[in-house]
Chain A
Amino acid sequence: MSKRKSHTPGRRLSLVVMLFFALAFLLLGARKNDFMGYILALAVPAMIFVGTWVLPHLFPTDRLLMSLTNFLCALGVLLLYDTNPAYALQQVISYGVGLFAMILCIYFVRAMHTGRRIIWLIFVGSLALLSLPLLLGREINGAKNWITIGSFSLQPSELVKLSLVLSLAFFLSQRRMLPWVVFSVACLGLLLLQKDLGTALLYYGTTLLLFWAATGNLPFSLLGVAGGVGAAWYGYQSFAHVRLRVSIWLDPWADYENAGYQLVQGLNAIASGGLWGVGLGLGSPTSIPVYESDFIFAVLCEQFGLVFAACVLLIYVALIWRGATIAMSARRRFHGLLAMGATLLLGLQAFVILGGVLKLIPLTGVTLPFISYGGSSLVSSLCLVGFIQGVESLNEADLEEDTRLAMLERGNPA
């Protein structure tokens, strides 16, 4: 009874979310006179329905987390449909693939009790995958972190995020330091060779914080922080593009026609939206370079305003809170670290790009989880939620087992 009661808010929330997106896509479809808008008005709420109503019938999951995740994914599709319908179509396909991958991840976490053999397979496979762009990748803006197979492109570092969290959780729960250090250093080295600094920063932050959470070893953790600061200082002194990035952050107006143009456009768009936004489908979001991925939050602010954007940020806060609560409720050390690692990665990624767009920290090129355009990013983010949900389903199973044992004891007091 209490279980059903606790699920009701999530169900109501998802109903409101489905209605919101159906109306929004209908509005945009009518405005653009585009049939695709009407299809999305059906497809996106249907996917939210699958994510928040059908999935929890397969295994116990956290409905609030599911509703919030689906809201963010659908919001991304909506913003992309407004700015570039072709991107929206690809994103909605990735959303479907991501939901399927999330189910697989939930099953994977439920099935993986010891996982000694598979973790070594993941270990070797991930390093091989991460080194592929150096051999076969194409260079875009100095970074070489994409591989293309036929018409299909993939960013391996997005997928390796999953194995990073899995491997760290496994080795740290077993208190085996050597494989953990080797894996982390190898991943960071490969990312730096690819010059994928944003992802390297995420990997580093997640590794360090998860190490501290697992061991509580403050001196080594502080040593890691000092190492990171030292590396950042060395990078600033040695590489011109790092200095440029910092100077843009400090004063984008100084070179707004060139280097600072992107950030200035983003800030203009955010300021243009004001508190309540210019309205869905209005404004000029496409004037921001890379509006579809890195600067999608500026598009959101322009169209919906700062108040709505603040609510979206609070959704990320709620996601972190739910993820951490699930991690803290886990009975096994591995599952707790896995859920916390996934939460950490999502939270840090959100902060790195939001802080960059809002000029709080220097801008680095990562996507905003669930909202930004990008198949690899969306699928990997949904897989991370799948890990958290997998741990939640195990927590629920443990609770049910406890209840059953308590009932048995009560029935047989002797």
Chain B
Amino acid sequence: MDIIRNFPLFTIILSLFSGVLCLVLDAKAARRYTLGYEGVILCLCGAVFWYAVRTGRAVTYVCGEFPAPWGNELRFGVLEAMMACGFIAVLICCVVAGGRYILQDIDESKINLYYALINLLTAALMAIVWTNDVFTGYVFLEILTLTSCGILIVREIGRTTLAAVRYMILNLMGSGLFLLGLVLLYDVTGNLLMVPMQEEIAQLMAQPHTAMVVTMATGILTMGLAIKSGLFPFHYWMPDAYGWATPTSGAIMSSLVSKCYIFLLFKIYYRAIGIEVFARMPIRYLLLALGMCGIIFGSVSALRAENINHMAAFSSAAQIGYIYMGLGLGGESGYAAAMFHILAHAVTKSLIFLTTPRLAEASGNSLRFRALQGSALRDRGAGMFFTVGALSMIGIPVFAGFSSKLLVAMAAADTGKGALMLSVILVLAVSAVLNAQYFIRTLIRIFGDSEDTADKTAYFREDFILPMAALTGMNLALGLFSWLFTDLIRMGLGMFG
């Protein structure tokens, strides 16, 4: 069974090659090939997950013949394998469910290029999840940035071009800051691999001057990834980018790409800087404060939105706030809550972004709330799945959203600081009310009376229903068996250090 140790490498190499291969395939072949090989990747990741849980040990995989400080390394434990499985499963659902819109929104001669980008994006997701080397993280982060820009711009309408330019500028700024932080860390530690870097940093923190350099480098690096993942106040590229992209792209970008940046950040904190060192840094409180602001302002902006996709995008900004709040709270329960919320939000937000275009389609291709009156009655399937997503976002028990909010609240209680706990719980309460307000308002709107309630969906297509059902199933699983997933995440965190 030791062959499974090689699977992370296989997922990356296979995805890279598939991306290149799609250049010479035609549209239909590219789609079939992509779905097939993504299925293979899911199996490989599942095998790695099974292997990691069974052996209970993290595995370090040397890429090539040169060991730790000289060559590149991959590494996997339960947490990485879990993230990889979750990401790929959501990605497959997005690609399948958005397939019809890919055909509509993208010119036929470019569909194969779209799938090439999806495959390269998979490679980047996989590499960032598996890597044990900060610079490999940077290289694949560049691929992630470029591919997400590409899948945004491929729709070729004015609005996506504008959104892509803004997204590109902010993301490149984020990449630049991230690289700057890495260069500073490399300069003082002389290492790019995470484990030797952490050892060096533990020594450097003893002297005040070098400790200052490390803290500043961490801050710059954090700022870069915060811009890229859309932490408040850097979230204002979100509505256009998520709202106007073709549904598959919007769902992938909101549920996977921004989460992947956060996972890389967490990995760097935990493995390259050292989690105890990070816990003593003031950056933590900054993340906490910005996360709280993000939750409040994101929700307020979502309330003001006139367009259902913009509302969903602002709600993403608020949810990113939850994840950063979990990181800021610290402690094992805080990190576990953040990681759980990454998965919970990935399965929920993709559900919402994939159903809204169908609601819009049943209402004269308009995403505005006014036009959407009664749209769920015209497209029952989409209305049903949108309701699942909305209930999960509000945090109704049974769904994933509830468990992650509960975990964040429990993490706040675990810190043992009264004022901190009180403020976090206050923010959670306010955000729950705001969330409920804008999602229930939307539900009332889409289920409301309208003159035209004839079912417009002549087809109850399985290519929409099946992935949506899968996402709902994952959502329910995360909600109902949250104890199991929390235990697995804690096990993963144990292997992570």
Q: Do A and B come from one complex?
A: no
